[in-house]
Structures are given as C-alpha cells and as structure tokens.
C-alpha cells in the first residue's frame, strides 16, 4: 500500500459501442449493442443508451434484443478497436514506463515510477490531463481511478463512470469498502458470493470481522487468506509492465450443432490456421497443441499433444489438431471447437517444418484416402448491382445476421455483416446496416460527417467492396 494515490486505473467508457457511435454519426445518442449476432451470440459491450433498457455485457443476444428491440446490433471490428487501443496505450506510456494493460480498453499505470506524481494533487492533475489527451486523440472518453493500490484504483474508476475521475485517499480504504457488497472484491464471483451469503457474509466488513481462519475454512488457504487481506483494504500487487503470453488460442461457437465428421475436421483445420496466424503475429512459436471440443450436452473435452520442439508451421499444427480430433467422440453433435498452442518460445525448431509433410506421406503409404476433388471450380458469376436505390434515413438497427465477414464468399453469395466497413465506387465510404434476401443496406457516412443516407444494393454488386475503418479524429 502506498501513502499517495499514485496508481492509476483507466477504463474506457463502453469502449466497443462508443467507438462504433463515434465512427457512425447516425448512431450517436442511440442504443448500440456490439457482439455475436447468431442464436448463441452474447453481448460484448452495450452503449449507455442500451444499458438503460437493462442490456449488459455477457448477456445472451436474444435476451438483449427482447429488452431493446430498436437498438443497433453490430458485429465487433477488433482491428478497429485495437488501433484505438494502441493510441490510448501510447498516451499511458508517456506517463510511466510501468503500464499494465488488462485488455484493449483497460490498464493500470504506476505514476510514481514515471515521476509524474508523488502526492494527491499531482496524481489528480496527471489523471485529468490523461482524460483530456484521450478525448483529443481518439474522440472517446475514459474513466480514471486513483488510489494507493490496484484494487482500490479499479474500484475508483468504476465509481467514476462514465467520463469521470475519482481519487481515493490512502488510509480511507476500510471505511470505503466496509458497507459494500462482497462482490466488489476481486475474485468474488456469483458462486463465491452465494457461498459467503449462506455463511452470513454479505458486506466487506462482514469478511473483515469474520477473520482469516473462518475465511480459510470456507474458501481454502490461498483464496481465504487473500480475501481477508483485501477486505481490510490491503493490496500490495505491483503494476507489471509486461505480461508474457502463456498460450495462443482461437475458438468458434456454432449456431447449429455440427454432426458431420468431415465438416468438424474442416473446422478444426481452419481454426488451426487462424491460431497459427495469431501465434506468428505475437512473434512466438509453441510446442504443445491443444484441441477443445464442447459437445451437444455442454460437456467440454480438451486433448493435447506435445511436439519435439516449438513450431509456428500451420501444417504441423493442423495435422496435430487433426490427430487429437481422432480421439474425440463427436456423436450427438458439437457446439464449440477450439485450437490452441502453448509452451510458447521465441524461436522455431527447424526440423519440425517438414513434420506435417512426412506424416501426410506416411498416412498415404498406410492407405489413407487422398483428396481427389481438388480441381473443382466454384465459378459462380456475379449478378449486376441494383443501381443503388436510395432509401433515405432508415432505422439504424437493421440487424439481418450475416454468418461471415463483409465480402466473403459462401454458397455463391457474398455476406455482409452489420457494422462492417464498405466502400462503393460512386458513394464512397459507408457501413453495413443490414442484409438479407440477396440485398445489403449501406449507410454512407464518416466520423466527421453528418448522419448519412441509406442505399440498398444487391449483395454481389461489383461496385461494393469491403472497406477500411476511418480514423475517428482527422478522418474522411
């Protein structure tokens, strides 16, 4: 614990939804929900306007639609959010060399280590300056908490929302925490909270009064001792500048359970390719391949295989994941598949590059069937566009679900996901408002423009192509 509130916690306000509102003038001041739009999708972020209807993160998307049927429902644009996050993290880096990112929109900063604050007044000044800089750089707002520990700084930023700053003076932690629910403490989720409630502990002061021995008896040595310390406001965790990744993984939840074994194998191979893409982007290789399968009854199986050395070869990862799948019973259907790589290293074992090819040859020699249909072509021709019929200011919440990203091919027809960027040869930059029945509705506007007009095109209009996100500040 510190004598001065020099630990800062920044949490961007409704980050994904706010970024969408800032980039789409027609959505400003209106309810916006970002997340998976399929039957099993969940809410990633809801704007404050949507939260007034009871929509919140991690809520099933179907429930959100019932609560706020007129909201705009958009798929996430993670590359766009990441670009904004990089701008924010750069601003944090100017304050201190000790910045600990927790996610794209959240981080701790050690102001003392940066020499910008050593008391309450200088810490507050640094926090206010940061909020001004974030708004000027990104056009978005963030909430700042300042305290003598990470736990209290995070609580402070939550109290500051939206678009505020709260400073909690060291020495006042117990008074602050005492009447609060036990759920305010890190590590106390619904299950632990209910367990404590049954034991008669609903507030933080209840935990402090119960004593460490009682909490250890209820929750175990590590969790009980840690919770007792936090209930007294004590948290000496340092701000850690670098968090080494322990694994890289990707997974997909399917709208309809997969039963066909060939389709399941194809999805596993596709996930393996994506996983390797992330692995290479992080500058790592790995030696343990992990397969995750969630079955129709929600039971989850994981299987792993450790290679002779680290690799970032997609063929190696793909073949290993395929071997792991052979040992999993998928009878009854599969809801989710995931592929991961752990045991990360900063180098690649060169002799593994030939492993996938060698195993393929071995399988062929053993009589495995070869794929003989590789020469088939899918030459579906594009039909002419609709001519761009203008529809005026249609409702921003058009939410026809598109299973793939904008402009991707599937079953001879391009799919356009609500919220994604597009560009038209005549009308310029816009975003997909909705699609379905062979048509796609686009609103043409940019961050600095007035709310734009809406036009409808055939989904395969050759003049409509996927676009790039425009910067929120200084954009087109």
Q: 98, 242 in Cβ contact below 8 A? A: no
For the chain, the straight-line distance linking the first and the last C-alpha, in angstroms and rounded, comes to 47
Instruction: List strand residue ranges (DSSP E) for 267-398, in order.
Output: 285-295, 300-311, 334-345, 389-392
Cα–Cα distance, 19 to 205 (Å, whole number): 39
Both tokens of residue 182? 């036990």
Q: 143, 105 in Cβ contact below 8 A? A: no
Q: Give the residue carrying structure tokens 């050395």.
A: 309
**Residues pairing with 34 in the sheet:** 45, 74
Cα–Cα distance, 401 to 417 (Å, whole number): 7
Burial of residue 102 (CB within 10 Å: 0-12, 13-18, 19+) is middle
DSSP 3-state of 10:
strand
Residues in contact with 193: Cβ distance below 8 Å, sequence separation at least 6, in sequence order: 181, 182, 183
Structural element, H or E, at residue 109: strand 106-110
Q: How many residues does the chain have?
A: 476
Burial of residue 194 (CB within 10 Å: 0-12, 13-18, 19+) is exposed
Q: 299, 331 in Cβ contact below 8 A? A: no
DSSP label at residue 351: G
Residues annotated catalytic, as ranges = 106
Is the omega angle on the peptide bond into residue 244 within 30 degrees of 0, that is, cis?
no
Q: What is the DSSP string of 163-210?
A: S-EEE--TT-HHHHHTTSBGGGSTT--HHHHHHHHHTT--BHHHHHHH
Q: Give the residue carrying structure tokens 């005026």.
A: 392
């Amino acid at each position: 614990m510190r004598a001065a509130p020099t630990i800062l916690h920044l949490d961007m306000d409704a980050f994904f939804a706010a970024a969408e509102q800032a980039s789409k003038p027609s959505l400003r001041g209106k309810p916006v929900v970002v997340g998976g739009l399929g039957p099993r999708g969940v809410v990633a972020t809801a704007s404050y306007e949507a939260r007034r209807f009871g929509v919140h993160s991690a809520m099933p998307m179907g429930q959100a639609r019932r609560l706020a049927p007129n909201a705009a429902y958009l798929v996430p644009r993670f590359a766009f959010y990441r670009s904004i996050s990089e701008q924010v993290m750069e601003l944090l880096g100017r304050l201190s060399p000790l910045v600990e990112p927790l996610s794209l929109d959240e981080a701790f900063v050690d102001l003392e280590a940066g020499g910008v604050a050593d008391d309450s007044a200088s810490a507050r000044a640094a926090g206010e300056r940061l909020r001004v800089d974030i708004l000027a750089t990104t056009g978005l707002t963030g909430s700042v908490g300042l305290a003598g520990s990470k736990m209290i700084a995070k609580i402070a930023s939550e109290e500051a929302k939206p678009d505020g700053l709260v400073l909690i003076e060291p020495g006042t932690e117990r008074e602050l925490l005492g009447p609060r629910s036990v759920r305010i403490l890190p590590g106390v989720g619904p299950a632990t909270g209910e367990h404590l409630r049954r034991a008669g502990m609903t507030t933080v002061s209840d935990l402090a009064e119960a004593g460490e021995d009682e909490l250890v008896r209820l929750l175990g040595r590590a969790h009980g001792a840690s919770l007792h310390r936090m209930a007294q406001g004590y948290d000496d965790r340092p701000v850690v500048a670098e968090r080494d990744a322990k694994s890289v993984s990707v997974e997909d939840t399917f709208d309809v359970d997969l039963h066909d074994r060939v389709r399941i194998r194809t999805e596993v191979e596709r996930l393996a390719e994506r996983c390797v893409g992330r692995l290479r982007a992080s500058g790592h290789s790995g030696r343990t391949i992990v397969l995750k399968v969630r079955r129709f009854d929600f039971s989850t199986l994981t299987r792993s295989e450790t290679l002779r050395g680290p690799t970032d070869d997609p063929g190696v990862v793909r073949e290993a994941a395929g071997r792991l799948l052979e040992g999993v019973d998928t009878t009854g259907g599969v809801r989710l598949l995931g592929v991961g790589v752990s045991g990360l290293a900063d180098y690649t074992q060169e002799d593994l590059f030939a492993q996938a090819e060698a195993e393929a040859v071995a399988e062929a020699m053993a009589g495995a069937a070869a794929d003989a249909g590789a020469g088939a072509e899918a030459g579906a021709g594009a039909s002419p566009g609709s001519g761009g019929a203008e529809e005026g200011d249609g409702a921003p919440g058009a939410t026809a679900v598109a299973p793939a990203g904008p402009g991707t091919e599937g079953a001879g027809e391009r799919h356009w996901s609500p919220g994604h960027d597009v560009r038209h040869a005549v009308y310029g930059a816009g975003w997909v408002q909705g699609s379905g029945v062979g048509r796609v509705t686009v609103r043409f506007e940019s961050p600095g423009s007035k709310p734009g007009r809406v036009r409808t095109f055939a989904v395969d209009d050759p003049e409509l192509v996927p676009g790039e996100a425009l910067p929120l500040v200084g954009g087109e």
